[in-house]
Amino acid sequence: MKKFATKHWVVGSVIAALAGLPAGIIGAQEKPPPQQPNKQTEIADKELRAFAKSYIEFHKIRAQYEPALNSARDPQEQGKIEQEALAKFSQAVQKQGLTLESYFRMYQSVNANDNIRDRALKFIDEERKKA
Protein backbone atom coordinates (compact mmCIF):
# COMPACT_ATOMS: atom_id res chain seq x y z
CA MET A 1 0.00 0.00 0.00
CA LYS A 2 1.63 3.20 -1.22
CA LYS A 3 1.35 6.29 0.96
CA PHE A 4 0.66 9.63 -0.70
CA ALA A 5 4.04 11.33 -0.59
CA THR A 6 5.13 14.93 -0.54
CA LYS A 7 8.57 15.95 0.68
CA HIS A 8 8.75 18.34 3.58
CA TRP A 9 9.96 21.15 1.28
CA VAL A 10 7.69 24.15 1.98
CA VAL A 11 5.44 22.23 4.33
CA GLY A 12 5.77 21.88 8.05
CA SER A 13 6.11 24.46 10.75
CA VAL A 14 7.07 27.24 8.28
CA ILE A 15 3.75 26.99 6.43
CA ALA A 16 1.89 26.58 9.70
CA ALA A 17 3.45 29.75 11.05
CA LEU A 18 3.04 31.77 7.86
CA ALA A 19 -0.50 30.64 7.21
CA GLY A 20 -1.56 30.95 10.84
CA LEU A 21 -2.59 27.29 10.92
CA PRO A 22 -2.26 25.00 13.90
CA ALA A 23 0.97 23.03 13.57
CA GLY A 24 -0.93 19.77 14.06
CA ILE A 25 -2.61 20.13 10.68
CA ILE A 26 0.67 20.43 8.84
CA GLY A 27 2.71 18.08 11.00
CA ALA A 28 0.24 15.31 10.33
CA GLN A 29 1.45 15.16 6.74
CA GLU A 30 4.39 13.07 7.79
CA LYS A 31 2.39 10.85 10.17
CA PRO A 32 -1.31 10.70 9.37
CA PRO A 33 -3.59 10.07 12.33
CA PRO A 34 -4.81 6.52 12.75
CA GLN A 35 -8.00 5.90 10.86
CA GLN A 36 -11.02 4.97 12.91
CA PRO A 37 -12.64 1.95 11.25
CA ASN A 38 -16.27 3.03 11.67
CA LYS A 39 -15.71 6.70 10.89
CA GLN A 40 -14.94 6.96 7.19
CA THR A 41 -14.31 10.53 6.15
CA GLU A 42 -15.88 11.09 2.77
CA ILE A 43 -14.83 13.85 0.45
CA ALA A 44 -16.98 14.83 -2.52
CA ASP A 45 -15.51 14.37 -5.99
CA LYS A 46 -15.69 18.12 -6.57
CA GLU A 47 -13.49 18.75 -3.51
CA LEU A 48 -11.07 15.98 -4.49
CA ARG A 49 -10.75 17.47 -7.97
CA ALA A 50 -9.93 20.85 -6.39
CA PHE A 51 -7.41 19.07 -4.15
CA ALA A 52 -5.87 17.33 -7.19
CA LYS A 53 -5.48 20.61 -9.08
CA SER A 54 -3.94 22.23 -5.99
CA TYR A 55 -1.61 19.26 -5.50
CA ILE A 56 -0.38 19.58 -9.10
CA GLU A 57 0.17 23.32 -8.56
CA PHE A 58 2.08 22.61 -5.34
CA HIS A 59 4.55 20.47 -7.26
CA LYS A 60 4.93 23.06 -10.02
CA ILE A 61 5.62 25.75 -7.44
CA ARG A 62 7.99 23.43 -5.60
CA ALA A 63 9.93 22.75 -8.80
CA GLN A 64 10.12 26.48 -9.47
CA TYR A 65 11.31 27.52 -5.99
CA GLU A 66 13.32 24.55 -4.75
CA PRO A 67 16.56 25.45 -6.59
CA ALA A 68 16.52 28.97 -5.12
CA LEU A 69 15.66 27.61 -1.70
CA ASN A 70 18.52 25.12 -1.83
CA SER A 71 21.00 27.81 -2.88
CA ALA A 72 19.83 30.42 -0.35
CA ARG A 73 22.78 31.81 1.56
CA ASP A 74 21.11 32.50 4.88
CA PRO A 75 17.91 31.79 6.81
CA GLN A 76 16.51 35.26 6.02
CA GLU A 77 16.82 34.68 2.28
CA GLN A 78 15.37 31.20 2.71
CA GLY A 79 12.41 32.63 4.61
CA LYS A 80 11.75 35.18 1.88
CA ILE A 81 11.72 32.45 -0.77
CA GLU A 82 9.44 30.26 1.36
CA GLN A 83 7.03 33.15 1.89
CA GLU A 84 6.88 33.87 -1.83
CA ALA A 85 6.28 30.19 -2.63
CA LEU A 86 3.62 29.94 0.06
CA ALA A 87 1.85 33.02 -1.28
CA LYS A 88 1.73 31.46 -4.76
CA PHE A 89 0.47 28.18 -3.35
CA SER A 90 -2.14 29.95 -1.26
CA GLN A 91 -3.40 31.71 -4.40
CA ALA A 92 -3.50 28.41 -6.29
CA VAL A 93 -5.50 26.77 -3.50
CA GLN A 94 -7.92 29.71 -3.28
CA LYS A 95 -8.42 29.60 -7.06
CA GLN A 96 -9.76 26.08 -6.53
CA GLY A 97 -12.14 27.23 -3.81
CA LEU A 98 -10.07 25.81 -0.96
CA THR A 99 -8.17 27.23 1.97
CA LEU A 100 -4.75 26.06 3.09
CA GLU A 101 -6.42 24.50 6.10
CA SER A 102 -8.98 22.57 4.00
CA TYR A 103 -6.22 21.48 1.60
CA PHE A 104 -4.11 20.07 4.43
CA ARG A 105 -7.16 18.44 6.04
CA MET A 106 -7.84 16.68 2.73
CA TYR A 107 -4.17 15.77 2.48
CA GLN A 108 -4.50 14.02 5.85
CA SER A 109 -7.60 12.17 4.69
CA VAL A 110 -5.87 11.09 1.49
CA ASN A 111 -3.00 9.68 3.53
CA ALA A 112 -5.24 7.97 6.06
CA ASN A 113 -7.91 6.43 3.81
CA ASP A 114 -7.17 4.04 0.94
CA ASN A 115 -10.47 4.75 -0.84
CA ILE A 116 -9.95 8.52 -0.74
CA ARG A 117 -6.30 8.10 -1.78
CA ASP A 118 -7.28 5.99 -4.80
CA ARG A 119 -9.87 8.55 -5.88
CA ALA A 120 -7.44 11.44 -5.36
CA LEU A 121 -4.71 9.69 -7.37
CA LYS A 122 -7.21 9.10 -10.19
CA PHE A 123 -8.02 12.83 -10.28
CA ILE A 124 -4.34 13.78 -10.06
CA ASP A 125 -3.54 11.48 -12.99
CA GLU A 126 -6.37 13.08 -14.99
CA GLU A 127 -5.03 16.57 -14.21
CA ARG A 128 -1.50 15.57 -15.21
CA LYS A 129 -2.77 14.30 -18.56
CA LYS A 130 -4.48 17.65 -19.20
CA ALA A 131 -1.25 19.57 -18.61
Question: Which has more pLDDT, 18 or 56?
Answer: 56
Give the pLDDT score at 68: 92
For range 45-49, the mean pLDDT: 95
* 126 domain residue, yes or no: yes
pLDDT of residue 41: 63
pTM, full prediction: 0.71
Q: Quick one: what percent of the chain has pLDDT higher than 70?
A: 69
Q: Residue 109 has what pLDDT?
A: 93
103 within domain boundaries = yes
Residue 1 placed within a domain? no
**For 63-102, what is the HEC assignment?**
HHHHHHHHCCCCHHHHHHHHHHHHHHHHHHHHHCCCCHHH
Domain assignment present for residue 20? The answer is: yes
Residue-level pLDDT at 105 = 92
What average pLDDT does the chain have? 77
- d(C-alpha 30, C-alpha 22), whole Å: 15
Task: Decide if pLDDT at 57 tops 90.
Answer: yes
Q: Flag whether pLDDT at 16 surpasses 80.
A: no
Considering the domain boundaries, does residue 83 fall inside one?
Answer: yes
Range of the domain at 113: 13-32+44-130
Q: Does residue 2 sit within a domain? A: no
Residue 20 pLDDT more than 70? no
What does the alpha-carbon distance between residue 62 and residue 120 come to, in Å, rounded to a whole number?
20
Task: State how many domains the chain has.
Answer: 1
What pLDDT score does 24 carry?
38
> Is 65 within a domain?
yes
